Amino acid sequence: MIAEQVVELNYRYAQCLDDNRLSDWPGFFTEDCRYLIHPRENFDARMEGYWLYFENKRMLRDRVVSLLEVNIYPIRRERRFVSNVMLTGRDGDTWLARASYMLVHTDNEGRSSIFSVGEYRDRIVESGDGLRFRERQVIADTFLVPSHLSMPI
């Protein structure tokens, strides 16, 4: 039951970003959320060093505003493939979950290629109207150039 809801949460999240509905993205998180992107090496070594570190929902909304205002680059098409969604535990009222993602970019010439693969590590809570991320860690196998990090993963 909860397992299916976590799969659906992952799918709706991917669809939201793939549809370029950026304004809806913060709605997947709780007010006191954390959203981080860091490279696998740092995560494995338990080292700090994040490409992105947002520690509440307001920072996510600010990011959306700045992306919508300043992004003068042509929009590339993004598509997220999510696999291996698994519940891995429970910590009080919080579900722990993992999933693998592959983010494919299609450039302006219409060529599609792997932009990033990696893992989601999530802390998920139930709100009045469905599940929310209290924390979403994006752990990227691929080394991304931070300047390319315009869109969330």
Binding-site ranges for its own copies (CB under 8 A): 8, 11-12, 14-15, 18, 39-40, 77, 79-86, 98, 100, 102, 104, 106, 109-114, 116-119, 141-143
Cβ proximity to its own copies: between 4 and 93 the closer is 4
Q: Report the distance separating Cα 112 and Cα 107, nearest Å.
A: 7
- Residue 36 β-bridge partners: 53, 137
**Cα radius of gyration (the chain):** 15
Q: Report the distance separating Cα 113 and Cα 94, nearest Å.
A: 35
Task: Tell the smallest beta-carbon distance from residue 97 to its own copies (Å).
Answer: 12
Cβ proximity to its own copies: between 59 and 102 the closer is 102
Listed in order, strand segments (DSSP E) in 40-127 are 52-54, 77-91, 94-106, 112-127
Cβ proximity to its own copies: between 44 and 48 the closer is 44
Task: Tell the smallest beta-carbon distance from residue 105 to its own copies (Å).
Answer: 9
